[in-house]
Structure formats: structure tokens, C-alpha cells
């Protein structure tokens, strides 16, 4: 009916007399609205690529698993639109913008404050919170013995005008430098502003250690770090409240509209509040985050040095082996599964016996035995799957479910016209479906039923976590 009304009105317009004083030459010809395909490309690709920065709130590794406020929010949005998530780590806003404009990233999720300078180069989504800029300074040395907060305040800068003549370090390309320049103009005096190639959190740590006197940070980041560095003070605001949002390229209207729709639906839900409270409110979460914060410690686990040493025998990146250990035991050397697998590498008793270890062996021996087993599996596939990275997927699957079921899946792939030497969308499909009678009763299957879904997920989880380890842990 709606289309008929539009058509009738269009036909009626043809018969409007010229006496209506509308001159044909002056009529504005409406151009068809051009809708960009930024959102459609993400759906077609099946992957959302986001730039974020690693710190103790946005993105980090916690007890071997990726974590962080921006990470969890991005995951929630990726799940909402039904795609995978890939992260690009950028500590520098300009580098993140370059990735956005070159098409390497779809959006920036770095807890960005909205301001006019940034509005010129990116488009912001609806606000997802607010913060303000605060001065980070060190409390007086004897502050714990002071009898009142008033005495502590007397030793600190509480009026931003008192920054006149002081040296303040801020991250390069951050909005803090412009705020300090505005403050100089307002006070009619000078502040020495040093734009330093370090993150806000690193500069906060430098203040805490007495290496510099002052820095500026967004309040939510400063408050989180104060839990870790109790000797710093973050109670002096130097700006009005500012809104926080994600950023997209200027041409990405369809993506921005979809994100805004998601924000409207998600932002006030219990899940959204839980994520926010976990990273910015709950003191226990904050303490654990700092304790296991991978960038500050540079570690994935307490076994990193051992993993680096033992992984040389396998010629795999130690971080990939670390991802295997996390998947198997969560780095817990005393872990025992319901099937009797034990230790860091969750060796079954029969396999463990082959390598001379048992449940009473030290963790180092368990790890050595597990890596030796991985190496033997790699050797079995060496002349079959020549591509090294591809072969790792077969080895991981065999470590989880046994090599016999993997060979069954290879034979099924060959029979049904898939490549038996490619894992993704080839062999993994048949292992995933090896619980289906159509496949496990097939004449090329020698070892019958297998709950392949677990192994399919096992391989994907290890490789997914490994990508996060690569993002935040140096080799």
C-alpha cells in the first residue's frame, strides 16, 4: 500500500500547473543517498578488526587469558553482529588513525575522549562513559604518618594554576598536551610540557618511582593505577568531564549507525554493568589485574623461563606452547582431569609412562615429556603436511584426541573432495562431524566415533589465545 501511495503522489505531481510559481530551472535535483559499505564489508569478511592499546584496563593477559574492558566490550559487539574479533595493538592515537584510514582497522577502541581536534579526523560513536583529566603527583614521603588529609593536601597541588613553572610529562599525541596549553593561556603563565613516547600508565609508574614529578591521565586510568601505586595522588582535576567513545573512519557511516544501535541496546544491560564494574569498580579485580598484568610483568605465567628453554627442542614459539599449557592445565602443575591426565601438560598415564614420568614427577619433567610427545607427533606429520604452520594444527588436534582420529578425518576429507593436508574448512570439518553416523560408519574410518567438537574447539582456542600472546608478550 505504501508503494502505491508514493506512486500516486509522483503521478499527481506531473499535473501541478505552472502557476504554482516553481521555476523548473531553479528546482534542486536530489541525488540518491550514497550508503557506505563499511558494515557490510565486516559481515562479508566475517571479522571485526579493532585498534586498541594494552594497559591494565583496556587489554591485557590475565592468568593466561586475554582480558580488559575494551576487549570484552569489543567481544560483545562482535558477538552481536556474528563475526570474529581481531585486535591491532596501537599505543599511539595517530598510528591507530592511520590504520583506520588505510583500511587495516575498522574502529578504534582505546577509551578515547571526544574533542574537537579528534572530531576533525575521525567520527565518534555514541558516548560509552565519561571521565576527566587529572593531575598525577606523588604524595609526600611521610603521608602515612600524617594525621589528616588536610596536611597531605597542603603538600600537593590542588589548584591547577599552581602548575605554573612546573614540568609535566604527557604521552605523545595525547589530548593532555592541548589541555595544558589551554591552561597556560588561562593562567597567563607557562608550564613546561614534555610530550614523551610512553603510555599514560608508564608515566604514572615513573611518577610513583620518583623519576618525574607530574603527569596527566584520564581519571578512570589514574584511579585503577592508584590501586597499584598507593603513593600517587590523582585527586586534582584539570578539565571538565569528557565523554568517552569508540571512533570510526569519516566514511564509515553504516558501521557507526550499527554500533550506535548496539550501544542503545547493550549499554544499560546487566552484562555491560558487570564488565564496567569488573575493571573500574571492584578492588579485588583491580588488584588481580595488576598482579597478573602481562605488560607490566612481561610474563604469561610463572613457567615462562622454563617454557622458553624447553620449547627449543620442538622449534615452536614458546608462546604457542604456553597457550597449550594454559589450555591443558591453566598453568597448574597439580591439575588432574576426570580421565586421569595430570600435570602441566595433562599427560595420560600411558603416554607419561612412555616418557618416564608419573604423577609424582616434578613439573619440569612433565613439561619436558609433553613437549617430547608434541615433537613425536610433529615428526609423524612432517612428510605429509609440509607447511609448518598448517602442520601445527594437525599436531595440536592429535595431542588432544589422538593421531588415529586425525588420520580418519584426513581420509574422509580425501574421499569427499577436500584437501587432507589443510586443516581449516577441510580436515577440521570431518573431525568436527566424526560423531555423526554418516561419517564414523564410513568405510574409510578405522577408529569409529569421536566427539570431534571438543578437539575442533581445542585447536581454535589455542591458536586464538596465541594471537593474544603475540600481541602483548615480547619474544
Which are the catalytic amino acids?
328
Give the Cα separation of 346 and 323 in Å (integer).
Answer: 13
| Displacement of CA 318 from its chain's centroid (Å) | 21
State the maximum Cα–Cα separation within the chain, in Å, rounded to a whole number.
102
Q: Which three cell numbers stand for residue 256?
A: 557507526
Burial of 220 (0-12, 13-18, 19+ CB in 10 A): buried
Helix (H) or strand (E) holding 260: helix 253-266
Within 8 A by CB and 6+ apart from 79, the residues are none
Burial of 172 (0-12, 13-18, 19+ CB in 10 A): middle
Task: State the DSSP string of 158-204.
Answer: -SGGGGTT-EEEEETT-THHHHHHHHHHHHTS--EEEEESS-HHHHH
CA angle, 153 then 233 then 224, to 5°: 150
Helix (H) or strand (E) holding 232: strand 232-237
Would residue 82 be called left, alpha or beta, if left means φ above 0 and alpha means ψ between -120 and 50 degrees?
left
User: What's the chain's length in residues?
Assistant: 475
Q: Which three cell numbers stand for residue 273?
A: 554493568
Amino acid at each position: 500500500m505504501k508503494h502505491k501511495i508514493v506512486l500516486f503522489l509522483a503521478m499527481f505531481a506531473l499535473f501541478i500547473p505552472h502557476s504554482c510559481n516553481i521555476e523548473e530551472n531553479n528546482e534542486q535535483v536530489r541525488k540518491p543517498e550514497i550508503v557506505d559499505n563499511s558494515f557490510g564489508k565486516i559481515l562479508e569478511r566475517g571479522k571485526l578488526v579493532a585498534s586498541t592499546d594494552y594497559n591494565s584496563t583496556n587489554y591485557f593477559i590475565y592468568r593466561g587469558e586475554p582480558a580488559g574492558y575494551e576487549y570484552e566490550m569489543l567481544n560483545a559487539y562482535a558477538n552481536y553482529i556474528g563475526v570474529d574479533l581481531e585486535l591491532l595493538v596501537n599505543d599511539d592515537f595517530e598510528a591507530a588513525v592511520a590504520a583506520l584510514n588505510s583500511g587495516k582497522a575498522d574502529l578504534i577502541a582505546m577509551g578515547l575522549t571526544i574533542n574537537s581536534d579528534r572530531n576533525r579526523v575521525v567520527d565518534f560513536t555514541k558516548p560509552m562513559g565519561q571521565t576527566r583529566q587529572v593531575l598525577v603527583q606523588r604524595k609526600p614521603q611521610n603521608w602515612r604518618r600524617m594525621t589528616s588529609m588536610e596536611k597531605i593536601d597542603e603538600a600537593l597541588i590542588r589548584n591547577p594554576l599552581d602548575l605554573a613553572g612546573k614540568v609535566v610529562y604527557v604521552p605523545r599525541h595525547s589530548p593532555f598536551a592541548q589541555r595544558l596549553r589551554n591552561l597556560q593561556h588561562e593562567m597567563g603563565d607557562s608550564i613546561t610540557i614534555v610530550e614523551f613516547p610512553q603510555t599514560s600508565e608508564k608515566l604514572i609508574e615513573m611518577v610513583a618511582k620518583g623519576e618525574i614529578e607530574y603527569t596527566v591521565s584520564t581519571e578512570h586510568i589514574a584511579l585503577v593505577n592508584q590501586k597499584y601505586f598507593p603513593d600517587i595522588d590523582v585527586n586534582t582535576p584539570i578539565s571538565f568531564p569528557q565523554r568517552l567513545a569508540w571512533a570510526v573512519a569519516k566514511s564509515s557511516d553504516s558501521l557507526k549507525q550499527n554500533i550506535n544501535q548496539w550501544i542503545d541496546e547493550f549499554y544499560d544491560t546487566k552484562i555491560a554493568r558487570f564488565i564496567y564494574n569488573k575493571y573500574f569498580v571492584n578492588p579485588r579485580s583491580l588488584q588481580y589485574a595488576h598482579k597478573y598484568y602481562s605488560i607490566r610483568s612481561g610474563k604469561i605465567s610463572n613457567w615462562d623461563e622454563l617454557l622458553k628453554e624447553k620449547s627449543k627442542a620442538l622449534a615452536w614459539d614458546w608462546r604457542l606452547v604456553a597457550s597449550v599449557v594454559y589450555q591443558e592445565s591453566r598453568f597448574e602443575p597439580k591439575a588432574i582431569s576426570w580421565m586421569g591426565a595430570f600435570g602441566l601438560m595433562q599427560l595420560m598415564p600411558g603416554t607419561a609412562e612412555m616418557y618416564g614420568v608419573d604423577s609424582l614427577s616434578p613439573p619440569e619433567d612433565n613439561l619436558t615429556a609433553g613437549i617430547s610427545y608434541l615433537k613425536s607427533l610433529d615428526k609423524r606429520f612432517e612428510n605429509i603436511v609440509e607447511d609448518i604452520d598448517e602442520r601445527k594444527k594437525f599436531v595440536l588436534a592429535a595431542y588432544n584426541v589422538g593421531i588415529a582420529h586425525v588420520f580418519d578425518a584426513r581420509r574422509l576429507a580425501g574421499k569427499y573432495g577436500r584437501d587432507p593436508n589443510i586443516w581449516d574448512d577441510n580436515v577440521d570439518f570431518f573431525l568436527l562431524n566424526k560423531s555423526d553416523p554418516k561419517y564414523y560408519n564410513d568405510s574409510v574410518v578405522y577408529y569409529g566415533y569421536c566427539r570431534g567438537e571438543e578437539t575442533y574447539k581445542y585447536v581454535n582456542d589455542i591458536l586464538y589465545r596465541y594471537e593474544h600472546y603475540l600481541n602483548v608478550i615480547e619474544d
